[in-house]
Amino acid sequence: MSGIRVLVGTRKGAFILSSDAGRKKWQVDGPLFAGWEIYHMKGSPADPDRLYASQSNAWFGQIIQRSNDGGRTWEQPGTPPGEPVTTPAGMPKGESNKFAYDTSSGSGKPLTTHQWYDGSQREWEFKRVWHLEPSLTDADTVYAGVEDAALFRTVDGGQTWHELAGLRGHGTGPKWQPGAGGMCLHTILFDPDNPGRIYTAISAAGVFRSDDAGKSWKPINRGLKSAYVPDPQAEIGHCVHRIAMHLARPDVLYMQKHWDVMRSDDAGESWQEVSGNLPTDFGFVIEVHAHEPDTVYVVPIKSDYEHYTPEGKLRVYRSRTGGNEWEALTNGLPQQDCYVNVLRDAMSVDSLDECGVYFGTTGGQVYCSADGGDHWVPIVRDLPSVVSIEVQTLP
Amino acid sequence: MLPHHLQTLARVGAEVELEIEGPVSLRSVLDALEARFPMLRGTIRDHVTQQRRPLLRFFACAEDFSQAPPDTLLPEAVRSGAEVFIILGAIAGG
């Protein structure tokens, strides 16, 4: 019988929520990595028991954790306990936490500065891994989106990481600037029909696409309008919060921007606004139904100065038409005195016949709908503030 | 002496004993610590610059070594093992 595993990253550790396909009785395991910020945890599509986690804090920096048994045990992949501390060649281990920007001449362009909040230029400084995206086909290959924004890749199961420097080096880097949460690369999407095609999104720079497996990149932000930048339709500078894709229709992309919900039907070459009748088009998450490519979910947030749900009501909005026409989903969600946020990586879906939808809040609740959003129940109510949610549908 | 989070990473207790040949300096102590517990690389000093992470401090014999150059020698009492070298997370909230 199939089952569900929900991987929850919080400000103070990770949790794993498990259920059978009924999605009614849940086992809660954790906290893992207690006291650390877990920005993201995700399983490999090629091997569901291979999990990766980004563990960090301001004092001690970045740690990469890996599990080979579905989260029961974890190790830093560069330094398995009990093994010699050097490689047979005498090289030190402990490289799995090292994210060093590429400064080699082979990068093509000087990779020196980006724009700071006040418009001045600053050097890149690594802070943390925001998002880990395992390859669709190889459990040892994982892409990491980091702050300050850059894309890294491992091909040895997380033991070593190397920057795909063509993204920072393609020329627009000096115009990138941090959003309120930092200058983060937070979204990585793979086109299953085109192995060379990768999308990334950066706050606040925009969306970028590579068609050669990450060697070269171009910005794809035509149609985005952002009133908070000097040229609202500039090629670079848009605070994209999240993009989402249905694997069966990879040329269609959905975006939750700082303000505006957007859609592209041509692999990002152009974007159209589909905010429609949403009560506010500010928000962070956006997700697509597992079986219906035109069914999209967002959680509207009041504004960029008030990062909580409008009117004290926690409402997921669903469009069955690929945007523009939205309906509020409220059954089981608090409809008074609720002032939480749902962060950009904190919504996911399962792929059971009746698609389950999951999201976590800054108030520590993780909600599940086992019927595509019509009814919601909390799996847990009192975790630390939730940063990320990923769902695995197990065979 | 390690802060709590580094103890859990290295799977050790609060105090770690290190054998060091030659001068006992900030650099040689941290080199020896990272050689024995490579999972701590990058958690105390930056991977690339080797500079102390901003929210950590170093103390020994009631003296603050946080701003001292890396080759500063530590007190004899630390070298002999009579006193501990303390790596401490600065109190910065959270």
CATH of domain A3-394: 2.130.10.10
CA distance A184 to A4: 29
Instruction: For chain A, say whether B89 makes contact (Cβ under 8 Å).
Output: yes
Q: CB–CB of B92 and A58 under 8 A?
A: yes
Please give, rounded to a whole number of angstroms, the shortest distance from the CA of A378 to a CA of chain B. Answer: 27
| CB-nearest partner of A94 from B6, B39, B89 | B39
Q: CB–CB of A59 and B92 under 8 A?
A: yes
DSSP A108: S
Instruction: For chain B, say whether A100 makes contact (Cβ under 8 Å).
Output: yes
Tell the burial category of A121 from Cβ atoms under 10 Å away from its Cβ (0-12, 13-18, 19+). exposed
pLDDT at residue A89, rounded to an integer: 60
Q: For A56-67, how does the pLDDT look when each residue is reduced to its tens digit (9 = 90+)?
A: 999 999 999 999
Per-residue confidence at A102, pLDDT binned at 50, 70, 90? Answer: confident
Per-residue confidence at A82, pLDDT binned at 50, 70, 90? Answer: low
Q: CB–CB of B5 and A35 under 8 A?
A: yes
What percentage of residues in chain A have a pLDDT greater than 90?
85
Residue A216 vs residues A101, A167, A325: alpha-carbon distances, Å: 16, 7, 37
* Number of Cβ within a 10 Å radius of residue A2: 12
CA distance A256 to A317: 12
- Please provide the distance, in angstroms rounded to a whole number, between the alpha carbons at the two ends of chain A: 7
**ipTM of the complex as predicted:** 0.89
Average pLDDT over every residue of A125-143: 97
What Rg value do the Cα atoms of chain B yield, rounded?
Answer: 12
A346 pLDDT higher than 80? yes
**Class at the top of the CATH hierarchy for domain B4-89:** alpha beta
Q: CB–CB of A59 and B89 under 8 A?
A: yes
* Number of Cβ within a 10 Å radius of residue A127: 17
- Neighboring chain A residues of B48 at a CB cutoff of 8 Å: 100
Domain locations in chain A as residue ranges: 3-394
- Neighboring chain A residues of B53 at a CB cutoff of 8 Å: 59-61
Please give, rounded to a whole number of angstroms, the shortest distance from the CA of B88 to a CA of chain A. Answer: 10
Whole-prediction pTM value?
0.94
CA triplet B41, A181, A145: central angle to 5 degrees?
Answer: 50
Per-residue confidence at A230, pLDDT binned at 50, 70, 90? Answer: confident
Instruction: For chain B, say whether A58 makes contact (Cβ under 8 Å).
Output: yes
CB-CB contact of B55 with B38 (8 Å): no
pLDDT mean by block of 10 residues, chain B; 94 residues: 93 93 95 90 91 95 95 96 94 55
Instruction: For chain A, say whether B30 makes contact (Cβ under 8 Å).
Output: no
In DSSP terms, B64 is beta-bridged to B59
Average pLDDT over every residue of A81-97: 65
Per-residue confidence at A95, pLDDT binned at 50, 70, 90? Answer: confident
CA distance A119 to A115: 6
Phi, psi of A61 (to 5 degrees): 85, -145
- Neighboring chain B residues of A60 at a CB cutoff of 8 Å: 3, 5-6, 9, 43-44, 53, 56, 89
Length of chain A: 395
